[in-house]
Amino acid sequence: MDATGNDLHHGGNLAAAEERFGRPRQGWLDLSTGINPAAYPLPALPPEAWARLPDGAQIAALLAAAQDHYGVPDRGCIVAAPGSQALIQWLPRLMHSPATDTTVAVLTPTYGEHARSWAGAGFAVDPVADFSAVTDRHTIVVLANPNNPDGRQIAPDRLLALAGRLAARGGLLVVDEAFADLTPRLSLASAAGRPGLVILRSFGKFFGLGGLRLGFALGPAALIDRLADALGPWPVSGPATRIGAAALTDSAWIAMTRQALANATQRLDALLTGAGLSLVGGTDLFRLVEHPAAPTLFERLGRAGILVRDFPERPRWLRFGIPTESGFDRLSESLNGWTSHKDRNASDVRA
């Protein structure tokens, strides 16, 4: 990560995509992120949302809305941040105890910033491919549920049992629930406050407002207080405070959106498998597929102005975000072209 944010290891970087593919005539169809393309409709913002620092009453309204939406038992167990990324940055720094030799298990593959942030704070990071490979050697365990990019799900009772074991030896389970709005039954939010468990929630993905920068940590009050203290006063913008409070209490929009994303996911799956791609997994905000010729398809889509997420370390994988209506048409056209091209040029396919 350089100071300009200009790297290719995250989705959504159209500047980097243009360096590689040029600027597409029709504009980009960006399917490289897991952000809902049908954003929450912005409420009117009063001038003071921009001008003034959000005050205690506005932050309290935001936290109450989040507490209710996520189902957190206690108000002292939730804190807001400018994106869940800000919490990923701070958490390892607050846990750092140079006296102990702490090994952090990160259930991989997953969102790369977790391992990066713990390693950056001086922890030994142990990438673990399977939940059952977590051992007593691991004092801190980090995983995403459901996972990005493969959608892997771990049952809440297994996670709560692990959090209990970790708490008993002064450890911590970090569960990144960035995509759990789509599967609320998976969320551990109702257990927030138990020792040894911290949950990260992202606002921007489900609500389609990634640029707003809003996320939450749920956990034991003492740890939440330390995070709040580290973030300092006014970590969240006035617009994020107000839009977040409105969106998180809009249960009609939330229910409608869950259904719409489930429908769009079914449609995307049909399109992708129809093109000969194998579905590995996903959530209702992204789908992970596998194909021996994935690098060729990535290039072909990129040249057609469709950016998807590739994985240099897993060259057979591609991740597709959910298209808009017009995006479905463009993607369908490109995939049809690829299928016929592929049939004509079987040599493109390398195992």
Q: Catalog residues that contact its own copies under the rule CB under 8 A.
A: 1-7, 10, 12-16, 30, 33, 35, 37, 39, 42, 47-60, 63, 76, 78-79, 82-83, 85-86, 88-89, 93, 98, 113, 117, 120, 204, 208-213, 224-225, 228-240
Between 134 and 182, name the residue whose CB sits nearer to its own copies.
182
Between 219 and 282, name the residue whose CB sits nearer to its own copies.
219
Tokens linked to 191: 């257990």
Torsion of CA 321, 326, 331, 332, to 10 degrees: 130
Q: What are residue 104's DSSP bridge partners? A: 125, 140
Between 86 and 335, name the residue whose CB sits nearer to its own copies.
86
> Whole-angstrom Cα distance, residue 127 to residue 115?
8
DSSP 194: B
Between 3 and 346, name the residue whose CB sits nearer to its own copies.
3
> Whole-angstrom Cα distance, residue 47 to residue 39?
22
Between 82 and 195, name the residue whose CB sits nearer to its own copies.
82
Between 197 and 227, name the residue whose CB sits nearer to its own copies.
227
> Whole-angstrom Cα distance, residue 248 to residue 245?
6
Q: How far, CA to CA in Å, does 98 sit from each of 49, 94, 121, 166, 230?
A: 41, 11, 10, 19, 19
Q: What is the sign of the dihedral through the CA atoms of 326, 329, 334 and 335?
A: positive
Q: What are residue 319's DSSP bridge partners? A: 288, 309
Shortest approach of its own copies to residue 161 CB, angstroms?
Answer: 28
> Whole-angstrom Cα distance, residue 108 to residue 118?
14
> Whole-angstrom Cα distance, residue 280 to residue 290?
6
Tokens linked to 278: 């194998």
Q: What is the sign of the dihedral through the CA atoms of 5, 6, 10 and 13?
A: positive
> Whole-angstrom Cα distance, residue 69 to residue 260?
19
Between 47 and 136, name the residue whose CB sits nearer to its own copies.
47
CB 335 within 8 A of CB 306: no
Shortest approach of its own copies to residue 85 CB, angstroms?
Answer: 5
Between 46 and 337, name the residue whose CB sits nearer to its own copies.
46
Shortest approach of its own copies to residue 278 CB, angstroms?
Answer: 29
Q: At what angle do helices 294-303 and 325-344 cross, to 10 degrees?
A: 130
> Whole-angstrom Cα distance, residue 254 to residue 46?
24
Shortest approach of its own copies to residue 79 CB, angstroms?
Answer: 5
Nearest to 247 by CA among 180, 181, 177, 179: 181
